[in-house]
Amino acid sequence: MSECELIKTCIFFNDKMADMPSTAEIFKNLYCKGEFNNCARMIIVKALGRGNVPPDLFPNQAEKALEIINKR
Ligand code: SF4
């Protein structure tokens, strides 16, 4: 299974976000080591660039990511 290319520096994967959810490990397996193209953080990286990813955006918030992109 392939991994997200951002895994080494991603604040979510490296537990650097302010409020890490108890489900973090599940999300890491689900997104970072699996469906990384569906990760909300990755969606913003691709659409707007890495500097535009909100620090509190979790991988499972794709809907919120699309809202942010659509507001641009
Ligand atoms: S899948 Fe998302 S949360 Fe995981 S390392 Fe990649 S950008 Fe970060």
In the reported structure, the alpha carbon of residue 10 is separated from the centroid of ligand 1 by a whole-number distance in angstroms of 6
CB of 17 closer than 8 Å to CB of 61: no
pLDDT in tens, the chain (72 residues): 699 999 999 999 999 999 999 999 999 999 999 999 999 999 999 999 999 999 999 999 999 999 999 998
The Cα 4–Cα 37 span in angstroms is 8
47-54 own/partner pairs: CB under 8 Å, 24+ apart: 48/72, 50/6
CB of 40 closer than 6 angstroms to any ligand 1 atom:
no
CB of 31 closer than 6 angstroms to any ligand 1 atom:
yes
**What pLDDT is stored for residue 1 in this prediction?**
63
